Amino acid sequence: MTNDAFHQAVVGGFSFNSVVTADGPAIVGHTTREGAYAGGVALVVSGLRRFVPSHFGKGPGPWDWYIVNYQFEARVHLDGFTAEQVRRMRAEFGLLPIDEQNRPESAAQAFYGSRAWAGLVRWVGQHPRVAKRMSRFDTYLPGWHDRACAVLRQPAP
């Protein structure tokens, strides 16, 4: 895992990294076989959807699972993902299937319950200056840095 990544997981032939970008916390995927870039998107405004995207690459994509930006913009084709792999993406990154995103706060709550959130809290503690500098990038998850710092200030159980 690189220094700018706060969480990594390998699921279904993909290596996913969570990093802080100009939009805030994001997920970036690469294929495990070739290491090819598979796509990326900001967390919280993303989700999982099984459908045929109208424009994926140079034409419609196949009926399959995708990580989407908002509801319809396919960003990462999760080629051949199973229901178990979809559940794992939920646990790892807080990605919800689109049909479960009926309230705006539900996506943020799912992220705050994920392994990626725990990784972001650790990363903030390990890289306080970089995290503070990146904290201004909170377009889609306002206050992520302050919330992580509050968790770090809590006494250990």
Write down the pLDDT at residue 55. Answer: 72
Average the pLDDT over 132-151 and give the result.
94
Write down the pLDDT at residue 100. Answer: 64
Instruction: Note if the pTM is more than 0.85.
Output: yes
Q: What is the pLDDT of residues 45-102, one digit of tens each?
A: 999 999 999 876 667 888 999 999 988 899 999 999 999 999 999 999 999 888 765 5
Among the listed residues 149, 147, 152, 140, the one whose alpha carbon sits nearest the alpha carbon of residue 24? 140
Q: What is the pLDDT of residues 89-137, one digit of tens each?
A: 999 999 988 876 555 568 899 999 999 999 999 999 999 999 999 999 8
Alpha carbon distance 157, 144 (integer Å): 22
Alpha carbon distance 131, 117 (integer Å): 14
